[in-house]
Structure 1
């Protein structure tokens, strides 16, 4: 089957290359339109800036913040320092930056 080469099944592999990034594009409050389906791709990078660049390519947006959503209070927070260890899959929300000079990445 010829499909997207961004997603590969590694279920029988002891180690997978990269991590799956699941993302939605939200408004500046992190609210995501209910009808939007979460998209995904395989990310082999290791830092927040690389993830931000890849999400800019995927979404076609220039000035973004990549956020993570706190599971306890559902608020979004910018991902700033580093990605979680061990290539664990991530769910993020991409929001437009309020100030292009201070673009950030937020993870959900």
Structure 2
């Protein structure tokens, strides 16, 4: 079984740029954003409701357009950058099951978990 380092930087990855613009809704920590970036897409912004999670997203991905708010309120905004009206992909990834408050609860729900990444 191969061991992979969990300490790597997106800047070290060689990828073909595809010039495809993506905007991430329910961005959380940026799992789908990382996938899009690894595929060579340009993730230009995000919407995330949780301030702490949004701060982590901003630190990890430095989005051009960042909105820390409920998506329902984002949809009511009257003034948005023109670039957000010419997207190729509007991503609305489902939340990570580990962090989601929705759906059925597992037996280990509400118990402390340790992730190998720390």
Q: State the TM bucket, normalised to the shorter chain.
A: under 0.3
Answer 1 or 2: higher relative contact order, Cα 8 Å, separation at least 6: 1
| TM-score between the two structures when normalised by the length of structure 1 | 0.26
User: Between Structure 1 and Structure 2, whose CA radius of gyration is higher?
Assistant: 2
Higher strand share: 1
Larger helix proportion of the pair: 2
